Structure 1
Amino acid sequence: MEYICLNCGHITESLTCPNCYHIMSEDEYNKVIEKAQKSIRYGYYYRKEAEENINVHYNLLSPTNYLEWIATAVLAGVSYDLLKYLAIKIYNHIKAKFTSNEKSYSMILDILNDERKFQEFVKYLQEYKDGLVTLDESKKKYIEEELRADFMGEKAHELYQKEKRVPNAQDFLSFLEEAKEKNAFSVKPQNNIKAFLLLKEE
C-alpha cells in the first residue's frame, strides 16, 4: 500500500517517512483520508452531477488515494502553488509506476494534468471545506440529499452486518434522530486539518 507523508508530502510505502522520519499511525492516516474522500465525493463528484444536471453517477470508488492526497492538502489549507507542486509529484509518480496500466488512472491523470480541470477540482474542494456557502441553493440541496441517502444506506448496512436484518420503520426513525444529533445532512464549514506542515514551510 502507498501512503503520502502527512508532514512533508513524500510518497512512501511505509507509515514512517524515509524523507523526514515523521511517524503516522494507521488510525490517524485513515481518518485524514476518510475526510478527503468525503470532500471529493460531496464537494466534487456530486457537485459535478448537480452542475451538469446528469443522472449518471461517477465511479465513486477510487482504486487509489491519489486524488485524496490532493484533497488532504486542500483541507489542510495548503497554498495553490504547493498544491500544483504536489499534483506534479503525484502525476509523475503514476506515470513512472503504472506505464502498462495507465488507462485505469486516466481520470486522475486528466485532473492532475489539465490546468482548468485541476483549478476546478481545487476550487470545488475549497468551497466544500467552506460549507458550500456560495453554491446555488438547488445544487446544495442535491448534494445534501446525497448525504442523506448515503447516511441512511450506511446505517442500514451496519444494522444488517450486526443483526442480519433489514431496517424497519422504527430503525429509520432512530437513524434520523442520530443524523439530527450529528447534523449529518448538511454541509458545514470545516477547520483546517493538521497536515503537510513541513511542506508549507518549504
Structure 2
Amino acid sequence: MGFVQLNAMRLADIFSDDSNFRSYMILCFTEVLTAIISLSHGDFLSCWCSSNLSETEEDASLEYDIFAAVGWVLHNTSPDVKDATNLEFNLTRNSMLKASYAHHRTSLFIKFFANLHCFVPNVCEEQERNLFVLKVLECLQMDLSNLLPGFSFDSDAPKFATASKNLRSLLSHAESLIPNFVNVEDVQLLRISIFKDNDEMK
C-alpha cells in the first residue's frame, strides 16, 4: 500500500516497457500477475476495479541530514556515551485521494499487461512473440495461492474461467479510466491480450 507500492510499480513499468528487460520481466513477474488475475472475482474487483480501496495507509517522506544522522549513530553507539541524544528529522506528509490512488494503481497494473504483451517486430526478438501469453497459460496450471496470502481463490471454478472473467472486468474498468489515468493504446493492448488468451485456452 501507499506511495512505496506505487513507486515500485512505476519502476516495474519502466523495465517492462524496455525491450532489453521485457523477457526478464515476463519470466520473473508473470507468476504474480497470473496469481492476481486468478483471485476470486469479488477480491479482484475490490482490489483492482474499484475507486475505493478497503484499506489505506498514511505516507510521509522522511527528511534528514545524512551527515548528522551518521554522526548521531556513531555518537550513540560509542561505549563512552551515558546519555543518548535525539536525532532531529522532519516528516512531510504525502497525500492523495483514495480514488485517485486506486486509479493510479490500476492504471499501472494495466500497463504491465500492455507492455509485456506488446511485440514490435523491428525491436523485439522473435522468441518474445506470444511469450507473455504462453507464460500466463503455463502459470494458470500452477498453484499460485501461496503468492498472495490473505486473499481468496475460487477453487470450484476453473482457473481459466476465473482469469477470463477478471480480465474482462479489468478491461471494462480500464475503459472508464480513459483518458485521465489510462491511454487508449494500453487499453487496446489489454483487449488484444485478453482475446488472445481466450483463443489459446480453447
User: TM-score, normalization: structure 1?
Assistant: 0.27
Which has the bigger relative contact order, CA under 8 A and spacing at least 6? 2
TM-score (norm 2): 0.27
Structure with the higher helix share, 1 or 2: 1
Larger Rg: 2
